[in-house]
Amino acid sequence: MTSSMRDDSVATLPVVQQSKLVVDLQTTGQERQPRDASFWLVFLGIGIATMITGLELAAVSNALPTIVQDLHGSSFIWVGSAYTLAGTAFIPLSGGLSQIFGRRIVVLSSLAIMALGSALCGSAQSMTHLIAGRTVQGLGGGGISATTAIIISDLVPLSERGIYNGLIGIAWAMASSMGPIVGGALAQNGQWRWLFYLNLPICGVAGIIMLFCLRVRTPPGTLKEKLRRVDWLGTFLVIAATAACVIGLTWSGIQYSWTSAPVLAPLIIGIVGMVAFITYECIFPEYPLVPSALLSTITGISGYMQTFLMPIVMIGLVYYIPVYLQACKGASPIGAGVDTLSFSLIIAPVGLLGGALVNRTGGYRVPLWTAWVALMVGTGLLITLDADTPLSHTMGFIVPCALGCGLLAFSTYFPVLAPLHVSQNGLAIAFFMFLRNFAMVWGITIGGTVLQNELPKHLPAAFTAQFPEGTVIAYATIPTISSLPEPLRTEVRQAFAASLKVVWEVLLGVGGLGLFSSLVMKALPLHTAVDDKWALQQKEEKRSNDSLSTTGTAV
């Protein structure tokens, strides 16, 4: 029996039997594939596709005030939330579909959906039209994020993956760094629609590369048989639970207070729904989106916990360091972006170096422990900031934060994948990406909630009376600070600094939870093989395997 046949038999077994066979099959798979032209072209296509998601994250938020003004809208918060909700909810399903229908059709479909959503956004004549387009974009973005990560896991063994993920991280960091500049320049010149239209040729180039170079096996079976394998109930549960959580988090402190029923009800329903989803997935489906084996080891659970906690800290830093610079140091939005550019520029190279270290030593625990400590040191130093702290100190404190985030961003998948057989990479990576995206929503909301609760305690009463209560205070007042008379200006600056201290303290606590969760992971060997079922094939091999698949299906 060949290793490919063994992996196929594992995929068709119930979950309990799969987990029993993992240890026996741990050494199967294909050794290092040749790095030919097709491999590097696919890798290029992944990098181009990743740049789309990086641009979407960084560019739209900078152009949003101009977009809202042009479209005469008010529900601006859903421009970002609709994208996040759709993308996060679709990630687990995209992992399941890639197992059932194959990687190529899912990544091509995701690129097409992203292009369609971008066209809808670019042609939007109202906020409702724009939000609908952003929802479609989110579906494509979620599929791109999950499937490209899965393809990398198919092509590169875990023992070598740190360097390759670091290279992709550099592409993402470049796009994220250019995003605010591109978005701001287009918005300033009244051409914000091209922010979305630019995605069309990028999706086209990535799609052409994948179409012709990503020659991988298509799982056998008829369309009807494949549709029967889709975990429809699990998909419904995760979409409903994600939607409920995102709605509650989006409304919290903006439309409604945290203690109101419109916020608490969806949050409680969403959290209970997530528990129900995981419980259902571990017990009932024959082809689950989250097999029980993914959560069957303490090392895997540790990896997933770190994956969820890290983005909360990182997105909190990304969002609220610029708030400090603008409110306390008088920086303009563009100036704050330039001042924090070092954060993005440090993350990717550090991730690449961290991946190289793991590749060289075969150990992931020390880099992860070091990363959590560095992140805690950086956030701890931020707590010392006040309104009069020299800007050079702030820039220096950002460095250990970026070092920690860089190592963690490209390393927490090691404890996730090390305990698993390579045939489970696809679903494990999809759940990994789901948790990462879901955590970003929590990171933004936690920081905003702390800030909105603290500012009323510190801002002068005569000043806050001019503004509505809630999160609006945190942002509506910033542009007015530089024009305030003394001593009111100093008092407001000090109020922001004191309020942000609590934000840094909360992020430090989350970092402490991350360090604590990392202490229980075990030192497991990294796989030196990939799943040969998803290996790149030459044209002759593809024709032969298609013939065998047809024969096997007929039998």
Q: Can you tell me the mean pLDDT for 539-547?
A: 49
Within 10 Å of residue 487's Cβ, how many Cβ atoms?
10
pLDDT at 550 over 50: no
Quick check: helix, strand or coil at residue 7?
helix
Give residue 275's pLDDT: 93
Range with lowest mean pLDDT among 65-69, 386-390, 490-494 = 65-69
Quick check: helix, strand or coil at residue 151?
helix
Is residue 521 within 8 A of residue 303, CB to CB? The reply is: yes
Token code pair at residue 370: 């070091």
pLDDT digits (tens, 9 = 90+) for 495-540: 889 999 999 999 999 999 999 999 999 999 998 888 888 878 765 4
Domain of 132, in residue numbers: 32-227+533-555
Average pLDDT of every residue of the chain: 82
Within 10 Å of residue 125's Cβ, how many Cβ atoms?
9
Rounded (10°) CA dihedral 138, 139, 145, 147: -170
Query: Do 133 and 169 fall within a single domain?
Result: yes
CA distances from 199 to 45, 63, 91, 117 (A): 14, 16, 20, 10
Residues 6+ apart with CB under 8 A from 537: 215, 216, 217, 545
Give residue 470's pLDDT: 47
For residue 529, what is the DSSP state? -
pLDDT at 30 over 60: no
Residue 141 within a domain:
yes
Query: Do 280 and 414 fall within a single domain?
Result: no
Query: Do 190 and 222 fall within a single domain?
Result: yes
Residue 135 within a domain:
yes
First to last CA, the chain: 17
Residue 341 within a domain:
yes
Supply the DSSP string of 383-430, one letter for each residue: TT--TTS-HHHHHHHHHHHHHHHHHHHTTTHHHHHTTS-GGGHHHHHH
For residue 317, what is the DSSP state? H
Quick check: helix, strand or coil at residue 252?
strand
Considering its fold, how many domains does the chain have in total? 3
CA–CA gap between residue 60 and residue 339 (Å, rounded): 19
Residues 6+ apart with CB under 8 A from 360: none
Query: Do 350 and 491 fall within a single domain?
Result: yes
Give residue 27's pLDDT: 40
For residue 30, what is the DSSP state? B
CA–CA gap between residue 425 and residue 460 (Å, rounded): 54
Residue 212 within a domain:
yes
For residue 481, what is the DSSP state? G
Query: Do 203 and 240 fall within a single domain?
Result: no
Q: What is the dihedral sign for C-alpha 385, 177, 441, 410?
A: negative
Query: Do 339 and 191 fall within a single domain?
Result: no
Range with lowest mean pLDDT among 362-366, 378-382, 460-464, 495-499 = 460-464
CA–CA gap between residue 313 and residue 200 (Å, rounded): 33
* CATH value at residue 215: 1.20.1250.20
Query: Do 354 and 310 fall within a single domain?
Result: yes
CA distances from 263 to 5, 247, 250, 446 (A): 50, 8, 9, 14
Give residue 474's pLDDT: 56
Residue 14 within a domain:
no
pLDDT at 4 over 50: no
Within 10 Å of residue 308's Cβ, how many Cβ atoms?
21
Of 484, 442, 184, the closest CA to residue 327 belongs to 484
Give residue 97's pLDDT: 92
Rounded (10°) CA dihedral 426, 431, 432, 434: 130
Query: Do 207 and 327 fall within a single domain?
Result: no
Give residue 428's pLDDT: 92
Is residue 323 within 8 A of residue 474, CB to CB? The reply is: yes
Give residue 147's pLDDT: 93
CA–CA gap between residue 176 and residue 58 (Å, rounded): 5
The backbone torsions φ and ψ at residue 23, rounded to the nearest 5 degrees and listed phi first, read -65, -40
Element housing 250 (H / E)? helix 232-251
Q: Can you tell me the mean pLDDT for 8-33?
A: 42
Count of residues making up the chain: 555
Q: Which residue has the higher pLDDT, 345 or 201?
A: 201
Residues 6+ apart with CB under 8 A from 338: none
Residue 294 within a domain:
no
Q: Which amino acid is at 410?
A: F
Q: Which of 265, 286, 307 is the last residue of a domain?
A: 286
CA–CA gap between residue 425 and residue 409 (Å, rounded): 18
Q: Which residue has the higher pLDDT, 75 or 368?
A: 368
Is residue 391 within 8 A of residue 383, CB to CB? The reply is: no
Burial level of 24, CB count in 10 A (0-12/13-18/19+)?
Answer: exposed
pLDDT at 8 over 50: no
The backbone torsions φ and ψ at residue 260, rounded to the nearest 5 degrees and listed phi first, read -85, 155
pTM, whole model, 2 decimals?
A: 0.83
Residues 6+ apart with CB under 8 A from 80: 60, 61, 64, 134
Residue 474 within a domain:
yes
Query: Do 157 and 123 fall within a single domain?
Result: yes
Of 417, 52, 422, 427, the closest CA to residue 210 belongs to 52
Query: Do 151 and 260 fall within a single domain?
Result: no
The backbone torsions φ and ψ at residue 190, rounded to the nearest 5 degrees and listed phi first, read 70, 25
pLDDT digits (tens, 9 = 90+) for 90-137: 999 999 999 999 999 999 999 999 999 999 999 988 888 998 999 999
Query: Do 59 and 168 fall within a single domain?
Result: yes
Q: Can you tell me the mean pLDDT for 147-160?
A: 90
Q: Can you tell me the mean pLDDT for 348-368?
A: 88
Residue 390 within a domain:
yes
Q: Can you tell me the mean pLDDT for 349-371?
A: 89
CA–CA gap between residue 88 and residue 69 (Å, rounded): 28
Query: Do 389 and 518 fall within a single domain?
Result: yes
Residue 89's Cβ-side half-sphere holds a number of Cα atoms within 13 Å equal to 26
CA–CA gap between residue 550 and residue 545 (Å, rounded): 8
pLDDT at 333 over 70: no
